[in-house]
Structure 1
Amino acid sequence: MLLLQKQAELPLVWKWILGLAYLVLVGASLMVLWRRFRTKEVKVTLHFSFTWKDLAYLGLFWLSARVIAIVGTLLNQAISGQETTANDAGLQVLAHFMTGGFPLFSLLYFLVIAFIAPIMEELAFRGYPTLDLFKGQFNVWAAIVTLVIFSLPHATNAVEFITYAGMGVLLYLAYRRRGNLLDSIFLHILNNLPAAIYLLLISLT
């Protein structure tokens, strides 16, 4: 976000240096977190194969997440007068900075929204807490704790909290179904991808 805000003040060479440095730093951090998660406990299940049944479940969870997002947005408008959640409003502000901006920064932001953030958030909000706090056990308390720590950073009022909590439940169920964090990661990516593509297209106009 800071790179997008300050891009007009930076010389071209520094834009490339900072953009590539950011990519390396984020990539290295993600790799460390991922490797630690994979080796943290032998019971960690990471199936890279998906059957049609698995894909059908992901599709069902995604459609449910869209319904929750739409209903939550409508309730938020009716109760608080806000046309969108604070999190989505922040994305719209950044869309302004992306319009006609430095292409590498726009591409980095697309990658963050679409892929990097979903992976890191699933590790931080579901993967690690489930292993560290609940010893890899899936139960009601694990669901409650993970959806709370997922919702709090995203919400600014009660309606937004409930909306993100509902989405957190779906992400938890996706993880719990096979005990495979990749399921919730892919669901999270599917949820973020449309907005990320939209912002990228805006930056190209």
Structure 2
Amino acid sequence: MSYIHSVCVYCGSSNKAPQIYKKTAADLGVLLAKNKIRLVFGGGKMGLMGIVSKACLEAKGHVTGFMTQFLYDYEGGNEEITELHIVESMHERKQHMFAASEAFIILPGGLGTLDETFEIMTWKQLGLHEKQIIIIDIDRYWTSLFDHFFHHMIKNNFIRAEDLNLFTMVHSVDEVLDALHRPKKQDKNFVKKWG
């Protein structure tokens, strides 16, 4: 059993996602359930969000969702999960997801997933938390962003090479538990943005 008891999963809500991403989401849900790690997510029932939560539930896992009333009215919440909390705003939703989670796992997704990912990285860069951020780069979905654009930002001195340590990149669900068990040690001076 992992020492991590709860993980927030950020992922897309599109039902049109390729099958390989859907399978990855289902495999992740089962992995979390089997290792008694509570899934925390955005509360939706569509796309990868719906798949990861359904798979976790079917494997006897615990699933906690946070959703705004606006999104609940627009697309519906997943009423079958263990806990569904309706909150007032997107900011409140993200704050609750952060507070309820000991680590973060990123699956493929769109603008909302990017927003959540970069916010949680920024908070870590600023020293507001030291929680693990694991990106599952399945089928090289995130490669062009994190392998290419991040290095472009480093080259132009908007981020530091050390900022690549804000997250761990893995390429399959099989690598997730190992990554959770081996958190990167954060240097004491890590939050000093410019030296």
Larger radius of gyration: 1
Asked if TM exceeds 0.5, the reply is: no
TM-score band, normalised by shorter chain: under 0.3
Which protein has the bigger strand share?
A: 2
Which protein has the bigger helix share?
A: 1
Q: Normalising by structure 1, report the TM-score.
A: 0.26
Q: Normalising by structure 2, report the TM-score.
A: 0.27
